[in-house]
Amino acid sequence: MQSDLRNYLVVTAGYWAFTVTDGAIRMLVVLYFHRLGYSPFEIAMLFLFYEFFGVVTNLVGGWLGARVGLNLTMHLGMALQVVALLLLTVPNAWLSVPYVMAAQALSGIAKDLNKMSAKASVKALSGEAGGGSRLFRWVAVLTGSKNALKGAGFFVGAALLQTVGFRWALGVLAGLLAVVLLVTAWLLPHGVGRMHSKPRFTQVFSRVAAINWLSAARFFLFGSRDVWFVVGLPVFLYDVLGWDFMRVGGFLALWVIGYGFVQAGAPRLLGHSRHGRGPGGSTARMWAFALALFPAGIALALRQGWPPQPVIVGGLILFGVVFAVNSAVHSYLILAYSDRDRVAMSVGFYYMSNAAGRLAGTVLSGWVYQRHGLQGCLWWSAAFVLAAALLSLRLPDPGASKT
pLDDT score of 126: 56
Measured distance CA(322)–CA(87) in Å, rounded = 37
Contact 60, 113 (CB under 8 A): no
**Which DSSP state fits 1?**
-
**Is residue 129's pLDDT more than 50?**
no
Contact 25, 171 (CB under 8 A): no
pLDDT score of 276: 54
Domain 2-190+207-400 grouped into CATH 1.20.1250.20? yes
> What's the pTM value of the predicted model, to 2 decimals?
0.70
pLDDT digits (tens, 9 = 90+) for 251-273: 887 888 888 788 878 877 777 55
pLDDT band, residue 86 (cuts 50/70/90): very high
Angle, helices 308-337/245-264, rounded to nearest 10 degrees: 40
**Is residue 171's pLDDT more than 60?**
yes
pLDDT band, residue 16 (cuts 50/70/90): confident
pLDDT digits (tens, 9 = 90+) for 273-320: 545 567 888 899 999 999 999 999 999 999 999 999 999 999 999 999
Q: Rounded to whole angstroms, what are the CA distances from 137 to 19, 113, 150, 273, 287?
A: 20, 23, 20, 7, 18
225 Cα distance to chain centroid: 10
pLDDT digits (tens, 9 = 90+) for 133-170: 566 676 777 767 776 777 788 888 888 888 888 888 89
* DSSP string covering 201-245: GGGGS---HHHHHHHHHHHHHHHHHHHHHTTHHHHHHHHTS---H
Measured distance CA(2)–CA(4) in Å, rounded = 5
pLDDT digits (tens, 9 = 90+) for 28-81: 888 888 788 888 778 877 877 887 887 777 777 666 666 666 677 788 888 999
Closest CA to 281 of 394, 191, 113: 394
Measured distance CA(93)–CA(96) in Å, rounded = 7
